[in-house]
Amino acid sequence: MKKTGIYIHIPFCRSKCAYCDFYSLPATKYSSETVEEYVHALERQITCFIQNRAEKITVDSIYFGGGTPSLLSGCQFDMVLSLLNKSFDITRDAEITAESNPCTLSKQKLSEMKAAGLNRLSLGVQSFSDTELETIGRLHSAAQATEAFYLARECGFDNIGLDLILGLPGQTKESFFDSLEKSVSLHPEHLSVYGLSLEEDTPLYRNRDFYTFPGEEVCAGMFSDAVSRLAENGYQRYEISNFAMDGYRCRHNLHYWHGDEYLGFGVAASSYFNGVRSTARKDLRAFLKCRSSGDFDAFSVVEEVIGPEEKAREYIMLSLRLTEGLSVSKLKELTPDSGFYLGKCDNYLKSGLMRKENDRLFFTERGFEVSNSILSEILY
């Protein structure tokens, strides 16, 4: 049976981090009334979406991303989740995640979130070095992150993921492994290690010349060491940047990587539904206006209609992000041109950047590190 994921974007933060180019507003640009209005608009959007739909869609993951979703009150989470429960067929074991910033988490907030039905936290720790945290404009300290983690445990969250960033300005091998050790010592169920990407239109990019970034060689070394350290501690790499204990892979993100359908609600959220990928505009005011008009469809921009060939190409791009890689027989089912793509992989197989076992083709560790270059060669 087809199972779908739901993504809900919360475009509010206390302040904007120096590296972030996602759509979110700092506290100076909104009030608590705005947040309340936004939640009501979300409710209206969900209601409009299910109108005239004969059958309920089965959903097994809900993901609040941002921005800083943990800025919502327990009550607001409850409103959204209750509506989703009524509107969709949410499976009993559904994974319900909120990204959260350690500085927004009190014991009370965490218990309310738990009570509202959230069962997974993705904690944006980024680093356990206070200097690094300050440089990138995070509002929390390393100690606050640790405290938030323990509070979450106390409140019953038994599925927590920590995010770390590799390649931060001023980061050294030592400071990175210190962050990694501290993360591991907390025993989270899930760990993500993202390479910093300098996006234009961010303060970090504009001021890049004032910072010292660890070099490519250093980053590559840190990453491969991290992979083995995490493995020693029971964290299996299952995607380029993601590691998990057995049974704790992030189901929501796996939907993306498996090419499943997903629904996005809120500003800037992407959906892939009935073969169409669309993304909502990055305009909070316009979104709030839709609350009265109800015309949320016009608020979204259709980006692509994914035909069979594109579906196959996306399958290559997404499945190769996973350590399990792609299934050759599935690719052959998806496209008559599978030979074209597989042929391009031959060189990488020879040079040890890819491997093939039975039906599956996947990146080696070295291949993962240059996967962008390889994928752009295979696909374009």
Partner 1 sequence: MNERQSHIRNFSIIAHVDHGKSTLADRLLEITKTVTSREMEDQLLDNMELERERGITIKARAVRMLYRHTDGEDYILNLIDTPGHVDFNYEVSRSLYACEGAVLVVDATQGVEAQTLANAYLAIDAGLEVVPVINKIDLPSADAVRVRGEIEDVIGIPADGCPEVSAKTGLNIESVLSAVVEQIPPPKGNEDDPLRALIFDSYYDPYLGVVVNIRVFDGTVRTGDKIKMMSSGAVFEVTDVGALEPFGLSSTGVIRSGEVGYLTASIKTLSDTSVGDTITLADNPAVKALPGFKKVSPMVFSGIYPEDGARYEDLKDALTKLRLNDAALSYEPETSLALGFGFRCGFLGLLHMEIIQERLEREFNLDIITTAPSVVYKIDRKDGTTVFIDNPSNYPGNDEIDKAYEPMVKASIITPCEYVGGIMELCQDRRGIFLDMKYIDKTRAELHYNLPLSEIIYDFFDSLKSRSKGYASLDYELCGYSESKLVKLDFLLNGEPVDALSFIVHEEKAYPRARKIAEKLKENIPRALFEIPIQAAIGGKVIARETVKAMRKDVLAKCYGGDITRKKKLLEKQKEGKKKMRRLGSVEVTPEAFMAVLKFDDD
- Name the one range near partner 1 by CB under 8 A: 175-183, 193-201, 282-290, 291-299: 193-201
List, as own/partner pairs, every contact residues 37-40 make where C-beta atoms lie below 8 angstroms and the sequence separation is at least 24, other chains included.
37/288, 37/291, 38/10, 38/11, 38/12, 38/266, 38/284, 38/287, 38/288, 39/72, 39/76, 39/79, 39/80, 40/291
- Name the one range near partner 1 by CB under 8 A: 82-90, 131-139, 324-332, 371-379: 371-379
- CA distance to 169, 257, 280, 283, per residue, from 304 (Å): 36, 17, 13, 20
Angle at CA of residue 22, ends 16 and 300, nearest 5°: 135
| Residues 6-25 interacting with partner 1 (rule: CB under 8 A) | 7, 9, 22
Tokens of 307: 């035909």
Based on CB atoms, which residue is closest to partner 1, 298 or 379?
379
Asked if 184 interacts with partner 1 (CB under 8 A), we say no
Asked if 60 interacts with partner 1 (CB under 8 A), we say no
Asked if 317 interacts with partner 1 (CB under 8 A), we say yes
- What SS3 class is residue 227? helix
Based on CB atoms, which residue is closest to partner 1, 17 or 151?
17
Name the minimum Å distance from CB 18 to partner 1: 16
CB count within 10 Å of CB 203 equals: 14
- Name the one range near partner 1 by CB under 8 A: 74-82, 88-96, 152-160, 261-269: 261-269
Are 128 and 135 in contact by the 8 Å Cβ rule? The answer is: no
Asked if 269 interacts with partner 1 (CB under 8 A), we say yes
Segment (H or E) for 81: helix 74-87
Name the minimum Å distance from CB 173 to partner 1: 14
List beta partners, residue 9. 65
Asked if 256 interacts with partner 1 (CB under 8 A), we say yes
Please spell the DSSP secondary structure of 178-206, one letter per residue: HHHHHHHHT--SEEEEEEP---TTSHHHH
- Name the one range near partner 1 by CB under 8 A: 72-80, 182-190, 257-265, 283-291: 257-265
Are 182 and 128 in contact by the 8 Å Cβ rule? The answer is: yes
Gap between the Cα atoms of 214 and 102, Å rounded: 26
Number of residues near partner 1 (by CB under 8 A): 48
Q: Which of 12, 223, 235, 248 binds partner 1 (CB under 8 A)?
A: 223
> Which of 113, 37, 138, 50 has the alpha carbon at shortest distance from 87?
50
Residue 339, preceding bond cis, omega within 30 degrees? no
Q: Which of 303, 309, 324, 333 binds partner 1 (CB under 8 A)?
A: 303
- Name the one range near partner 1 by CB under 8 A: 35-43, 132-140, 282-290, 370-378: 370-378
Q: Which of 17, 116, 196, 250 binds partner 1 (CB under 8 A)?
A: 196
Based on CB atoms, which residue is closest to partner 1, 303 or 359?
303
Asked if 228 interacts with partner 1 (CB under 8 A), we say no
Based on CB atoms, which residue is closest to partner 1, 115 or 379?
379
Determine the residue type at 235: Y
User: Binding marks (x or -) toward partner 1, 326..355, rule CB under 8 A?
Assistant: ----------------------x--x-x--
Name the minimum Å distance from CB 186 to partner 1: 22
Asked if 318 interacts with partner 1 (CB under 8 A), we say yes
Strands (E), the chain: 4-10, 58-66, 89-100, 120-126, 160-166, 190-195, 236-239, 242-244, 262-265, 270-273, 276-280, 300-305, 326-327, 354-357, 360-363
Based on CB atoms, which residue is closest to partner 1, 148 or 219?
219
| Residues 140-179 interacting with partner 1 (rule: CB under 8 A) | 167
Binding region for partner 1 (CB under 8 A): 7, 9, 22, 65, 167, 194-197, 216-217, 219-220, 223, 240-241, 256-257, 262, 264, 268-272, 277, 279, 303-304, 314, 317-318, 321, 348, 351, 353, 368-377, 379-380
